[in-house]
Amino acid sequence: MLRIGMLTSGGDCQALNAAMRGVVKGLCSKRDDVEIYGFKDGYKGLIYADFSMLTSRDFSGILTRGGTILGTSRQPFKLMRVPDKDGLDKVEAMKHTYHKLNLNCLVILGGNGTHKTANLLREEGLNVVTLPKTIDNDLWGTDMTFGFQSAVDIATDTIDRIHTTATSHSRVFIIEVMGHKVGHVTLHAGIAGGADIILLPEIPYDIKAITKVIDGRTKAGKPFTILAVAEGAISKEDAKLKKKEYKEKLAKENILRLLMNWRSRSRKRRIKRCVSPFRDILREADLRVHMTVCLQQESEQKQQS
């Protein structure tokens, strides 16, 4: 008898169900003596022995279904050695569940944090097979993680749709794309969607270079610019700051933004304010062309007037 435990951990993304279906279908096509134990809500199910016995029939019809039929949750790797509120040792609890069910292997689908915990279990003597799940495409040992291409397709479609409005209204659009530490999605989507400027976390940007591009396009008769910006993009000036100093700077800017929002609402005045973390880019762009900052704020102003 081959006993396999399976779980999905971390944020959900495209193709989780399809990947699990592929694993089960592949196993069942080779052997008839397979038992599948599906742990609910990620590592939480493994820790607290919350699981269901599954068969190949449970994985039929889920190829195109989004999310994960097992459920998922975030269990930070740095807290795995920290006992829970009842004093339970999480690592020992996972090992106990594994051995109690007499599993031959754990199949774990997840991203960076999930893989760190999976490696921890491997070091504890458990048999573990992992599948690289993350839209960021930032896991070592694989050319492409599942979920990445779908994320690129959606981001590309968004950038492509912005072109019409940007051209019609001669505006600068900053499209923030997910990517805190790596910019693979932003890079691929920006190229495919025809963004004029692409900013990545790996390469600190120069505001003067951005200004030069916007000015150059305006002089060339193209009074609109589309920027694809990864959420972790940072200026050269900020990149020189220590991590603590940079966090303090962001905190001060957020407090100032909240105060401006409160003042504008209390006085019922239309105070132009920036809600984007890329304020330096917004300021420079606003000096050159009409700027779109936040569609939600525009709708709020219309309601107030």
For β-strands 2-8 and 51-54, DSSP reports them as unpaired
Please state, in angstroms and rounded to a whole number, the distance separating the CA atoms of residues 93 and 72: 18
Please state, in angstroms and rounded to a whole number, the distance separating the CA atoms of residues 227 and 102: 53
Q: Which two tokens stand for residue 180?
A: 């805190």
Phi, psi torsion values for 91, nearest 5 degrees: -65, -45
Please state, in angstroms and rounded to a whole number, the distance separating the CA atoms of residues 137 and 109: 14
Residue of 217, 214, 169, 164 lying closest to 193 (CA atoms): 164
Q: Is 193 left (phi over 0), alpha (psi -120 to 50) or beta?
A: alpha
Count other C-beta atoms under 10 Å from residue 273's C-beta: 16
Catalytic one among 41, 136, 138, 196? 136
Count other C-beta atoms under 10 Å from residue 91's C-beta: 16
- How many residues in total does the chain contain? 305
Any catalytic annotation for residue 136? yes
Query: Catalytic residue numbers?
Result: 136
